[in-house]
Chains A and B, each alone.
Chain A
Amino acid sequence: MISRIARKELTEMFRDGRFRLLAGMVLAISLLSLAAGWKNYSALSQQHATAQVATRSQWLAQDKKNPHSAAHYGVYAFKPKSQLAMVDTGVDPYVGVAVWLEAHKQNDFKFRPAQDRTAVQRFGEMTGAEVLQVFLPLFIVLMTFSAFTGEREQGTLRQVLSLGVSRRDLALGKALGVTAALGLVLLPATVFAVLALAWSAEGGLVSSDPARAVLLALVYLAYFALLIALSLAVSARVRSSRVALVALLTFWFANSLVAGRAASDLAGWLYPTPSAIEFQKAMDADLNNENDMKIRLDKRRAEVLKQYQVDNVDALPIAFSGVSMQEGEEHGNEVFDKHYGQLFDRYEQQNRVYQIGGVLAPMLSVRALSMGLSGTDFAQHRHFAVAAEDYRRGIQRSMNGDIAANQKKGQVYLADQSLWASVPDLDYAAPSTSWVLGNYLASLLVLALWTCAAMGFMVRSASTLRAD
């Protein structure tokens, strides 16, 4: 019975010119956004791969020089892009994807496409995620708002109900019909996305994380089921199609467009972050704290003198300049950990506001999960930033250690390529899917609850459906 109702709904939709037009448009923007995402992804990952190789070979090809010069020469680290980033670019355009690792400094990430954008482009760029989070929900609303009210207004609802059809079957049949129509519209886009993933994957599709792709699909599927159920419930409950359309468009607008903005304003108000200049000034003040550094260095000097049983640094068998430079690094690291740690914690607190906001606007939960599974959320940015910073500190330790061990008093010390080669390449492993999900348990729960509640609401509303 349910499938028979679904089939009739589909037939009717396909014969409706408005549906065909709308479906064609949705299909076109899905394909366009995916194509743009794929182009962007393949260009960027190509550039990253080339640049990563280039920065490594530049590091290795350094002439003989003092290790500290090499430390200043530095290397770049590029955040690897997940293939799913072609669907959801997440925070990448805002936080950047590459960082320069040099002596004395934990740098900010650079190459933020958002910096080069004009204000208008904010609305111009269409990612797969935007289509999935903004356009498809609108499509669902337009397809379903009159599901029941329209039949009531047309008079067919009386006729159908007089036949002895259960209202629940009627609602489920309609839900299935809309889902199938949506599926048919999305199918070409999905096929395209899978092919694009396969093309761009170096070792074939398996090299990407299929679990993430499947989960991402499930998250959106749950979201669409939620919206379909909610739309049908509203359509079953209200008096007229006009009321249903106004109510659902209001929800769509608040959920898809306003909620994100409001949540970020609220998060910024609850957990304010310093401006870039304030942040830099506060950090510089700690970095340039001479007294702090002096205490540190005196303590370290005493330790080293005691270790080697000598009473002045000139009598040491090692070059104390290497030790003192490393001590400067350690001082800096402490300051960086404090300031960046506070800043990053703030961002994560803000993220939690988003996740909790999902209770009111489920789109926020979906967006968080979508970015997380696409590997473009802030948590994964931080994960990479920490790994890159650890790598930088490792380089500084080996350079300073080499100076301490090999620099002779009164001589110019030059290290050669064997030292550069002793620094391993940055080997970054992106966090596992379960790590990602662990960050978004709240969002998963909220989305699941919303979906179940919407379905319950639909069945309940349908069972009290009035014939006229």
Chain B
Amino acid sequence: MLQATNLSKRYQDLIALNALNLTVRPGEVFCLLGANGAGKTTTINLFLNFIEPTTGTATINGVDVTKQPLESKKHVAYIPETVMLYRNLSGLENLEYFAALAGRPDYHRDQLLDFFKRVGLPDGAADRRVGTYSKGMRQKVGIAIALAKGAKALLLDEPTSGLDPKASNEFSDLLRQLSADGVAVLMATHDLFRAKESGTRVGIMKHGSLVAVHDTGEFSHADLERIYLEHMHD
């Protein structure tokens, strides 16, 4: 579903991403771990075609993201560290607008409310302006947009950083549900615990290179932390 082939990004003398080869299949949750500047966000920006790759290709559902930027985005949803919404619009209006822009302009109010219900947005919040929303609520609206879009792939950029443990846990549950429904998820994160909880595979990045990939089932949380720190050591 998500595939990077020899994907590289160079800025003058800085290698932001070095020949990344990566495939995320439907139902997989692939967690990218690594220090700041390791190339996690660069990878996501490349998949979204927000930046041009220096070499290599990225495809979503088999569609090259640089050659067909609009087509490639049809099947993907993006959730950043904080989902940014139009503060003068209500949660429901935001969802309706983003769904319409994503090519689904025909949802009824009930259907939209149902998406909010599935992501666990508190009752009564839908018609409030999002200026009053907590970060956890915003992330839920982000997932609701992905659901409304019917996205087959999710690109997440540290979506749980700064969330309280309960909200973070709810978010992981939602990811598990999505992956059970066959959505391919690529998540950049610092949170080893979340990666172990909700990820099916983890990849460790360092200086723009993917240095290790493991199935999360192979380790305990402590093992994962030890392996991660070993890679970070030098």
Contacts and interface: CB of A to CB of B under 8 A. Distances in A.
A4 interface: yes
A163 B102 contact: yes
Contact of B84 (A5, A8, A158): A158
Instruction: Give chain A's interface secondary structure class.
Output: helix
**Chain B, interface size: which category?**
20 to 34
Contacts of B72: 164
Contacts of B69: 164
Given A1-B101, A4-B105, A8-B97, A162 B78 contact: yes
B22 interface: no
A155 B82 contact: yes
A156 B85 contact: yes
A174 to B, nearest CB: 13
Contacts of A158: 48, 50, 78, 80, 84
Contacts of A155: 80, 82, 84
Nearest to A160: B101
Contacts of A154: 84
A287 B61 CA distance: 92
Interface in B64-97: 69-74, 76-78, 80, 82-86, 88-89, 93, 97
- Main SS of chain B's interface residues? mixed
B80 A164 contact: no
A162 B73 contact: yes
A12 interface: yes
Contact of A163 (B84, B149, B155): B149
B84 A161 contact: no
Nearest to A166: B70
A233 to B, nearest CB: 21
B100 interface: yes
Nearest to A170: B101
Given A4-B105, A164-B70, A12 B149 contact: no
B83 A162 contact: no
Contacts of A453: none
B102 A159 contact: no
A15 B105 CA distance: 22
B103 interface: yes
B101 A4 contact: yes
Nearest to B45: A467
Contact of B89 (A8, A161, A166, A466): A8
Contacts of A5: 101
Nearest to B76: A162
Given A12-B86, A162-B73, A162-B78, A467 B48 contact: yes
A16 B70 contact: no
Contacts of B73: 162-164
Nearest to A11: B89
A5 B82 CA distance: 23
Interface in A109-163: 154-156, 158-163
A8 B149 CA distance: 18
A158 B77 CA distance: 11
B98 interface: yes
B80 A163 contact: no
Nearest to B69: A164
Contacts of B86: 8, 12, 156
Interface string A429-468: 0000000000000000000000000000000000000111
B113 to A, nearest CB: 19
Interface in B15-52: 45, 48, 50
Given A8-B89, A12-B86, A159-B83, A164 B103 contact: yes
A467 B84 CA distance: 13
A165 interface: yes
Nearest to B77: A162
A161 B74 contact: no
A467 B49 CA distance: 9
B93 A11 contact: yes
A236 to B, nearest CB: 15
Nearest to A468: B50
A369 B12 CA distance: 52
A8 B94 CA distance: 9
Give the top 3 A-B pairs by smallest Cβ distance, nearest first.
Answer: A164-B73, A155-B84, A162-B78
5 contacts: A8-B93, A16-B88, A160-B98, A160-B101, A163-B73
Interface of B: 45, 48, 50, 69-74, 76-78, 80, 82-86, 88-89, 93, 97-98, 100-103, 105, 149, 155
Interface of A: 1, 4-5, 8, 11-12, 15-16, 154-156, 158-166, 466-468
Given A159-B80, A467-B45, A467-B48, 10 more contacts: A4-B101, A8-B89, A12-B89, A158-B48, A158-B50, A159-B78, A159-B85, A163-B102, A164-B70, A466-B50
